[in-house]
Structure 1
């Protein structure tokens, strides 16, 4: 059972820090709403995922060392992030970076208390609705590859969103299909990436939804770029922004 006032260290991913800082603030707002004591280590940087996915293992390891340094000092605090992508990196790829090294035990200790926001709320705290959350409209949910395949997150975000007053869920076809972002994939294979975004957006439009909501701003940024270019009647929202709305 979690303590009465869970202590949380937040990890803010690069995308959120640079492009969607309000999502980070809304995550803090939600965590404090449910009684968490939230701390932010301003020295934190990146989890190392961009370098790791690009094949630069040594450089990624250096960044991952910094991540462990930043978060191993408070073993009783949870590490919570608004990104299943970064959490998947820490939880899974760090095994490749640290297994058999002197830092392995420190890595495992951090891994066991690192959670994506909705996973933490639902699976650790047992919360399936945020009191006062309101947003009028219809939404369709995008299962990011990292959330679904790396972290096993599927039902929790839907439970939280279904608890938002005024919000109605409409499941789209192929909700678990990749949006086409994939980090450097979108740069190296632009045409394929855009076609995948188009397919995802068309499925969302077919539902009649007003919003596409997900756990990962990287997916949402990619989809939003296509939506804006085509001037389509859809908005992309991170789940933290939705849970923090209306109160």
Structure 2
């Protein structure tokens, strides 16, 4: 699962299910077995190269849940760097949030939109043709913003790039 889904299972299910000790125990039991994709590939399976070829200019956007809650920082770039033909475009201030944050974008739409505008400006200046992320919420937020702005920059999940031939 994506960073936000993984952090929900690993970090928040215990709190969510605290009122039911049997369910809380089940949630605690699965915690060691739940990983985000890049974390699983690089740290568990010890795979860094999957034979992918992706001849595009790519900027990577790390999701907040992935970095801040799961501590996954280098694994996605380790995998992307091993993709044949890829050109990695540096994204200035890439660790800044895209403004989605689940309910944040609903509760604070003006702040969310402003954060997205900043992220899109950085994506444009990077020269990327494609933005890659590991979180579907970020992909939806960034992809929607780029589409509404008439940009031709695509968004892809890391798994799509790793599966490219």
| Higher relative contact order (CA closer than 8 Å, sequence separation 6+) | 2
Root-mean-square deviation over aligned CA pairs: 1.4
CA displacement 1:170-220 (0-9 Å, x = unmatched): 221111111001122212221211111110011111111111101011101
1:95-141 deviations in Å (ceiling 9; x for gaps): 2134582334322220110011111111100001112x111111111
Which residue of 2 is the match for residue 207 of structure 1?
A: 126
User: What is the aligned counterpart of 1:116 among 26, 30, 36?
Assistant: 36
Residue 128 (1) aligns with residue 43 (2): no
Is residue 2:119 matched to residue 1:175? no
Number of residue pairs matched by the alignment: 164
For residue 151 of structure 2, what is the aligned residue in structure 1? Answer: 232
Higher strand share: 1
**In structure 2, which of residues 63, 69, 74 is the aligned counterpart of residue 155 of structure 1?**
74
Deviation digits for residues 63-97 of structure 1 (CA, Å, limit 9, x no counterpart): xxxxxxxxxxxxxxxxxx2x110100111112213
Where 1:134 maps in the other structure, the secondary structure is coil
State the alpha-carbon separation in 1 of the partners of residues 23 and 54 from structure 2: 45
The 5 Å alignment of 1:47-62 reads none
| TM-score, with length taken from structure 2 | 0.93
Q: Counterpart of 2:86 in 1: which secondary structure?
A: strand
Instruction: List alignment gaps of at least 5 residues for structure 2.
Output: none
Scaled by the length of structure 1, what TM-score is found?
0.63
